Structure 1
């Protein structure tokens, strides 16, 4: 049987949004904000050229509304280049920290900005920092969003995203243990297709240093990361006849010179496998449905 492998580059164009949304109300550091400007301007241009140089690959670019409105000319290059654009919140807010009303308001505003910018209705969404709320899948379903790219129930097979709102009882040490010693309940399935992501195939944690975020590194050799990504792909290629391999990157990270070279090497590795197709996340969603 001939293998069929869907590879999608999922690009989070956080630009300045992720830096100004500090979560604790502190003032954003101007140097960090400048990283976002680099990503929106230099990183985006380099990645667009990279995709063009590799046969005109069409990728999926998840854009916070803040990025679209702050860098309209740069984001128009992505749109006019025929790439898919997906939702990524308004200002990279932590969805898990929002109330349900706040989450709905952000979703409505994000869709409004998207429609004004693209002239279409959005098909997909990824939660900023992959932090969903218990209500996120319900909200996506209600707003007519067809796919999500935030959950990790599988690492290479799309599936129907579960509604996890009432499936877990969280441990509350202030209460008697009998109140929280309860197994997980059966998930309800939504009509939202999940295109799984993985922190293990993401450029941010290992290659973006932030003095204010201990979860990042920034000084990892890209060749080591390339080997890890290749190993994951090799296992999936051996074990599955058909699978989806999503690569999560950020222009302010992957747009750097040494990491661009890593992508050049990695894409040659991927293209060396029979059955590989470079597609958008929307294409994977349509294939699954």
Structure 2
């Protein structure tokens, strides 16, 4: 059984994405342009709703119902067919970009044809992952529910007055909170293990969802730690940048505030793409380290010469 080398793989992901950021943009440039256009349309919608820019910061102060109503007014200018088409185009663009990035990371493959068979296979695999994830959550909820009922009634019988209540457990009930955290970390490991079918699909789909999930057995906690070490720094970076941008918008004059809004949008787009690349590279590295690449290649020997950092 192959084990994921967590800390080494984390360093490889961040170093690879940072070093090859613009190269990754280039190999998937048609999809990246579509993603940028869709994101720009979203910012335009925010602007129309009065929720972006200097004036938008002032107007955004209000009840959630008022903000939602402004969204509805902005959306009313477009037909439902247009909105659905834009959303579907964005989802397809994400799949196309992800396939190119997986193949670049794992095979060193540069830009290729605008569409590949693997693009649709990637979308189909995503839907299958969603199905298995929902099924897992249903089973887990049932198991946790049964255990919770047993604990509550046991606590009522042993420590309470016979009325079923979690409070009857007293200090012992505190143990359930860290167990909840452990359960969420376990769920992260499971969902990332399911998502390792995505790089498999990008390479042609030799293993499938269940095949890659079985091949990664014994790595759930390692994969959980790996994902946390990847996601947490990126989300902290996003929060810091968005916070600084928000302060700049609220403290600037109208003209400077408008410039700050444009700069904020550009930085947000760059970070959004960085987040996508990081997740794709994370899955690619974990897939290579645990499952291995087609053709019997293993480990770092499978990385193509033009992309040694990945």
Q: TM-score, normalised by structure 1?
A: 0.26
**Greater strand proportion:** 1
Larger radius of gyration between Structure 1 and Structure 2: 2
